[in-house]
């Protein structure tokens, strides 16, 4: 049986730069957004072709900074099929007002962006007490936090998971794990330690697929271990498309190959059921 597929990590880029001006965080635009942008309309066509039912579209900070308007305007057109995962400055004095503004414009989750290919910041702001009122608001309304970090930031993720045990935390790209030693993945000890926190989830993307396929033991061994450690109900698929080069169907096919050793029930969780737990509006 083919599971329902929900993508919790696609990006969209508008062709209208007047309405949605390019203003990347830290001033450096991502190469993928400039060279292979995908509009909302194109994303819908790609989803239909690939058999993707719904999506939580992740705002591109390396294109628009903290202006989430393009994703907000897009998800408002089809609120039953899409939700938005937005980014804004949690340290700003008016962060709670900003939260409320974007909440009213379709924000289904928040992404804490500590840097990507264009910039790596000091991620210590993740645990700055000034950000805690936003976490508390997320706890009150059941909103998920998506965190982009590397293995260096896992201790901060653990601190946040413990401090806010009712806030679901989804780690982008499984926090870019080091798999070079192969099974049982001793270098992933800090990552696997997070499994003790019921509110920590792993977002599996093509970046994870590539790492697993290139590692000793291959994808079959790694994803079986990931399910063993976290449980399939704490793993969710995100395409990262078009930051990960498509077409989207190619990335879905890569996922099917990587999850081949999982049971039908486990695949159902990873492809869609966990997404509904992280973004309840997509469960309707």
Residue 164 to residue 11: CA distance in whole angstroms: 28
Residue 141 to residue 169: CA distance in whole angstroms: 14
Give the range of the structural domain holding residue 161, as residue numbers without chain letter. 5-283
CATH number of the domain bearing residue 166: 3.20.20.140
pLDDT confidence of residue 119: 43
Model pLDDT for residues 168-198, shown as the tens digit of each residue: 999 999 999 999 999 999 999 999 999 999 9
Residue 206 tokens read as 């093509």
Taking the chain, what is the end-to-end CA distance rounded to the nearest angstrom?
21
Residue 257 tokens read as 């190959």
pLDDT confidence of residue 268: 98
Q: How many domains does the chain have?
A: 1
pLDDT at 116 exceeding the cut of 70: no
Model pLDDT for residues 135-164, shown as the tens digit of each residue: 999 999 999 999 999 999 999 999 999 999
Residue 66 to residue 21: CA distance in whole angstroms: 12
CA dihedral over 138, 143, 148, 152, signed as positive or negative: positive
Residue 88 to residue 102: CA distance in whole angstroms: 9
- State the number of CA atoms in the 13 A half-sphere of 281 facing the CB: 23
Q: Mean of the pLDDT values across residues 210-216? A: 97
Model pLDDT for residues 45-102, shown as the tens digit of each residue: 999 999 999 999 999 999 999 999 999 999 999 999 999 999 999 999 999 999 999 9
């Amino acid at each position: 049986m083919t599971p329902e597929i929900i993508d919790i990590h696609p990006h969209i880029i508008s062709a209208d730069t007047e309405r949605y001006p390019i203003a990347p965080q830290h001033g450096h635009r991502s190469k993928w957004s400039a060279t292979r942008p995908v509009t909302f309309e194109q994303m819908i066509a790609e989803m239909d072709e690939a058999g993707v039912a719904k999506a939580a579209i992740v705002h591109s900070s390396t294109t628009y900074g903290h202006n989430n308007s393009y994703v907000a305007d897009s998800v408002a057109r089809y609120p039953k099929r899409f939700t938005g995962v937005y980014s804004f400055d949690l340290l700003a004095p008016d962060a709670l007002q900003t939260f409320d503004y974007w909440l009213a414009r379709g924000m289904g989750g928040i992404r804490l962006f500590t840097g990507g290919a264009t910039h790596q910041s000091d991620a210590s702001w993740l645990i700055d007490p000034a950000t805690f009122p936003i976490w508390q608001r997320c706890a009150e309304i059941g909103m998920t936090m998506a965190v982009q970090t590397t293995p260096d930031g896992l201790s901060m993720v653990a601190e946040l998971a413990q401090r806010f045990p009712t806030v679901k935390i989804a780690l982008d790209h499984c926090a870019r794990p080091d798999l070079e030693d192969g099974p049982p993945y001793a270098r992933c000890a800090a990552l696997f330690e997070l499994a003790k926190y019921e509110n920590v989830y792993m977002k599996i993307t093509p970046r994870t697929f590539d790492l697993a396929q290139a590692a000793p033991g291959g994808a079959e061994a790694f994803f079986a271990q990931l399910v063993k450690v976290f449980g399939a109900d704490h793993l969710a698929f995100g395409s990262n498309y078009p930051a990960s080069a498509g077409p989207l169907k190619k990335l879905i096919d890569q996922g099917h190959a990587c999850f081949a050793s999982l049971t039908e029930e486990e695949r159902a969780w990873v492809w869609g059921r966990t997404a509904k737990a992280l973004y309840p509006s997509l469960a309707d």
